[in-house]
Structure 1
Amino acid sequence: LSGGIGLTSGSKHMMTVVLLGKISNNNATGNTILKKQHFESHASSVPVTKECNMAEETVYEIRIRVIDTPDFFNEDLKNQEEQIKKCKELAQPGPDVYLLVMQLGHFTEGEREVLPHLKREFGEDVALKTVILFTGKEKLKHKTLTDYINGSDKELQELIKTCHSRCYAFNEKGNHQVKKLLELISDMQENSAIASHHSHKKKHKENKECSIL
């Protein structure tokens, strides 16, 4: 990743990604990132993922650990506390990024409430590590992601602002989008590290416009 991720060949770095969301194509997103079919993925009206699963691959010389999760806040999930605990254990010493996977064109009632739930279970600073990842990029057609968001539900816009406008769009094909996503996560980590030492410098990095991959 020339000039992007800044990791040398043979680096021992592990990037831990936690997939969150209410839709069944979290699994497809995990497979896209890892470039292998690790997670069961098919069209379904009910959640495909019933419990936390983890898979690892080396992608662009980075060891990536993806944790696929069930919809933690679905009333039909019988073992919510057990699965949240398992997610935290698998992510030790802590995730580098939470990917909140949402489908373009759909903003459900559960997704409106997801951030307060996440803050309660994973800590108040969860938004600092959250990237909203929209699937179904092809639905944008000739629009940009920024166009879509500007015309979207006000609550969705607020959710995106809370996550410091870190949102991207994916389809299930195209290696360049994975490479770009990894670079953006790396940038987010670097900005967070800088901000922890120089809090007055935070805003110039956080107020980026939404980008489309």
Structure 2
Amino acid sequence: MELKRLPESDGCGSTKHDGKTGAGKSATGNTILGKNVFKVDSSPASVTGQCERQSGEVNGTMVHVVDTPGLFDTARSDEEVKEKIEECVNMSVPGPHAFLLVIRLGVRFTEEERNAVRWIQENFGEDASMYTILLFTCKDQLKGKQVTDSLKMCKELRRLSITLGGGYHSFNNDAKDDPTQVPELLEKIKEMVELNGGEHYTNEMYQKAQRKIREAEERRREEEKRRKEEEERKLKEEVKVEIEKEKEEEKREKVDKKRNLHIALAVTVVCVVVGVIIATAADTTVALALAPLLLVLGVASGITAICLKNGRCGAKTPVSVAV
């Protein structure tokens, strides 16, 4: 019988009532096999750094236990954890009969534990839940209460225990002389295997789950690629519209400049011609005084026309001439 334990952390922590320090998943492996083969530490950090497989005969049944690193070991990246878990899968070929999801009793159901359940389902597929037993440790911290009392207080745990194929079981890893907790666990595993048609979780199921992950990742990348392409397309379209606006504005400026140039030239010609006529033909004082003004205005308009032609005057401001 092959068991794989997929917890989120090691250690039950200290209890202020009796000062004893329990242990988590590695101690659970020792309890199942009835011997100290996995390293146990009271530290809250993950003790198991590598996948480790140990075996032993338990009540006439050969049991193989694969200990995994903590799923949320802060010393490792998500990719490194995933690689280690894959090593554990290869250690249990052709596949484990049960996954044991180890969760501590007497503490809150944390966000990490929620993520652990999600992580298992995402990485091992929906089939994995049918081969999983929720294994509570530190049963002694209940102080005489039943596990069902804890489940009543935590809807998420209760819902989780119902959705898993093997339900739940509880351990007190300090009670080495308890003759019932390990046989009862093995019995639950056998019942779960029977419900699964006598089959164990296979490497093919794992590969199928990983295939789905790769396909989902590929879809995500494709979607990201399409999103970026759409953003680039919109950006190019905006730039194109902006360029068109600038061209249109430039075109209007040229038209305005040409119109203003024509106005300035026309004013120049009119003022000069009228001024010359008045200056040569008129004999009144007013006419003689008006002629120089018209000539000056004509010269000014001519200068304006030259500026417009050379681009030194504002093209957007029409030339206003008062005659």
Q: Considering the TM-score relative to the shorter chain, is it more than 0.5?
A: yes
- Written as runs of structure 1 = structure 2, the 5 A alignment for 1:172-187 is 172=173, 173=175, 174-187=178-191
Larger radius of gyration: 2
User: 1:7-156 alignment to 2 at 5 Å?
Assistant: 15-24=1-10, 25-78=24-77, 79-106=80-107, 107-152=109-154, 154-156=155-157
Measured in 2, the distance between the counterparts of 1:58 and 1:146 equals 31
Taking CA–CA contacts closer than 8 Å with sequence separation of 6 or more, which of the two structures ends up with the larger relative contact order? 1
Q: Which moved more, 1:94-103 or 1:171-180?
A: 171-180
Are the equivalent residues in 1 in contact too, given 2:131–2:165 (CA < 8 A)?
Answer: no
- CA distance in 2 between partners of 1:90 and 1:175 (Å): 29
1:158-195 per-position Cα deviation (integer Å, ceiling 9, x unaligned): 22222157111110121321011111111111122189
For 1:40, what is the secondary structure of its paired residue? coil
CA drift at 1:135: 0.6
- 1:156 Cα deviation after fit: 2.2
Q: Which amino acid aligns with 2:121?
A: K
2:102 maps to a residue whose letter is V
Residues 135 and 169 of structure 1 are in contact (CA less than 8 Å); yes or no, is this contact kept in structure 2? Answer: yes
Give secondary structure in 1 for the equivalent of 2:101.
Answer: strand
Q: Aligned in 2, Cα 1:119/1:28: closer, same or farther, shift over 3 Å?
A: same
Partner of 2:231: none
The alignment partner of 1:139 has SS state of helix
Deviations 1:22-48 (A, max 9, x none): 221111000000011110012012111
Q: Which amino acid letter does the alignment assign opposite residue 171 of structure 1?
A: N
Residue 156 of structure 1 aligns to which amino acid in structure 2?
L
CA contact (8 A) 1:112 1:156 kept: no
- For 2:97, give the aligned amino acid: D
- 1:105 and 1:162 map into 2 onto residues whose CA distance is 22
Deviates more, 1:27-36 or 1:71-80: 71-80
- Identify if the C-alpha distance between structure 1 residues 72 and 142 changes in structure 2 by more than 3 Å, giving closer, same or farther: closer
Unpaired runs of 5+ in structure 2? Answer: 11-23, 200-323
Q: Give the match's secondary structure for 2:76.
A: coil
Cα distance in 2, alignment partners of residues 54 and 110 from structure 1? 25
Residue 199 of structure 1: aligned partner? none
Q: Which runs of 4+ in 1 moved over 3 A?
A: none
For each residue in 1:81-113, what CA deviation from the matched residue of structure 2 results, as whole angstroms up to 9, or x when unmatched?
A: 320220110111111000001100222211112
Aligned partner of residue 49 in structure 1, secondary structure: coil
Aligned in 2, Cα 1:192/1:91: closer, same or farther, shift over 3 Å?
same
Match for residue 188 of structure 1 among 192, 201, 210: 192
Pair 1:167-2:171 in alignment: no
Task: Give unpaired runs (5+ residues) of structure 1.
Answer: 1-14, 196-213
Deviates more, 1:92-101 or 1:71-80: 71-80
Q: Which amino acid aligns with 2:106?
A: G
- Point out the structure with the larger helix share: 2
C-alpha distance in structure 1 between counterparts of 2:100 and 2:172, whole Å: 15
Quote the RMSD (CA, aligned, Å).
1.8
The percent of aligned pairs where both chains have the same amino acid is 37
Q: Kindly provide the amino acid, as one letter, of the partner of residue 23 in structure 1.
A: S
Distance 1:60 1:27, change over 3 A: same
**Secondary structure of 1:113's aligned partner:** helix
For the 8 Å contact 1:23–1:103, the answer to whether it is kept is: no
Task: Report how many residues are paired.
Answer: 180
